[in-house]
A = this chain, B = another copy of it.
Amino acid sequence: MPHITKKYNFIAEFFDIDSMGVMWHGNYVRYMEAARCRFLDEVGFSYLKMKEAGFALPVVKLDCKYIAPIEFNKQFCIEVELLEFECFFRLGYRFVNMNGARLCQAHTSQVAILLESKETCLYLPSEFRESLSAFINHAK
């Protein structure tokens, strides 16, 4: 699979910061979700389109490695990398600061669930996989 990454910038808000003066580790998951939604918008297959297509994409696995803290009002970038989209929709997230230094490395895995039957799909819906393939080809 060709190497596809997209970058999204964010700012650490006051309510993200814990009593140690750094972003609380649980709040990184919010920014991963925000970056993932921007990515899916670029692909042309947002959660809203998935709903219309009759499926949802719940997160079934998550891992994060925290490398360096993020402070209040500091800008940071999340580089989203598409890792897999056959059975699982799998993304990598590389948080870097404005000098390119790594702050956090994370991954999510999502599966498709049919909204009507609540069944888990063995493969991601073909419509979604085709959109991702077209996105990759276009990005080349």
A61 touches which one: B26, B37, B66 (CB < 8 A)? B66
Cβ of A133 under 8 Å from chain B: no
Cβ of A121 under 8 Å from chain B: no
Cβ of A44 under 8 Å from chain B: no
**Secondary structure dominating the interface of A:** mixed
Cβ contact within 8 Å between B66 and A63: no
Render A10-23 as a binary contact track against B, CB cut-off 8 A, 1 for contact. Answer: 00011101111110
Residue of B nearest to A20 (CB): B56
Cβ contact within 8 Å between B20 and A15: no
The interface of chain A, by Cβ under 8 A from chain B, is: 13-15, 17-22, 24-26, 29-30, 33-34, 37, 41, 46-48, 56, 58-66, 69, 72-73
